[in-house]
Amino acid sequence: MLDSYRKIIEAKMPFEEKLETLFFSQEALTQQYQGELMETSAKHYPVIQEYIDNYWGERRDNLIGKLLAEGKAGGYIRPDLSLEGFFFYYQIVRRGVYAIPNIAERMLSKPQLMPEVISVAIHGLRG
């Protein structure tokens, strides 16, 4: 899962395209659902939770930190936004994606909505 994210984050593509790929691609959604299953299992087994936190947490944080730094450098993200604030926002978006049935199919059937969704994610409602 992290290798896939690393490839996206380190790819030579515009920041907005990276966000689109990370938040809404079919592969990313599938991996996030798998991650959600892993997270649910971890809640019931503290040993698994500790492993996830120790092993994946630092690697994930480093990747997200790179993405955040790129967004700040490109003027897409406020320079004062903390990594913790960004993670909190990302978690809210991720959980919202899980709550919408058939989101991948809906986004693929209406690709014209993607730029609007990305714009709201980056610039908020004020644009």
For 37-59, what is each residue's pLDDT tens digit? 555 655 676 776 677 667 767 78
Q: Is the separation of the CB atoms in 97 and 32 below 8 Å?
A: yes
Q: Is the separation of the CB atoms in 14 and 76 below 8 Å?
A: no
Mean pLDDT value across residues 114-123: 78
User: Of the candidates 101, 98, 83, 108, which has an alpha carbon nearest to the alpha carbon of residue 31?
Assistant: 98
Please report, as a single letter, which amino acid is at residue 120. V
Q: Pick 106 or 39 by higher pLDDT.
A: 106
Give whichever of 1-5, 16-20, 37-41 has the largest mean pLDDT: 16-20
The answer for residues whose C-beta is within 8 angstroms of residue 99's C-beta and 6 or more apart is none
Q: Taking all residues of the chain, what is their mean pLDDT, rounded to a whole number?
A: 76
**Does the pLDDT at position 31 exceed 60?**
no
CA distance 14 to 119: 13
CA distance 65 to 87: 10
pLDDT of residue 115: 79
User: Of the candidates 4, 33, 22, which has an alpha carbon nearest to the alpha carbon of residue 122?
Assistant: 22
CA distance 65 to 108: 28
Give whichever of 17-26, 29-38, 61-70 has the largest mean pLDDT: 61-70
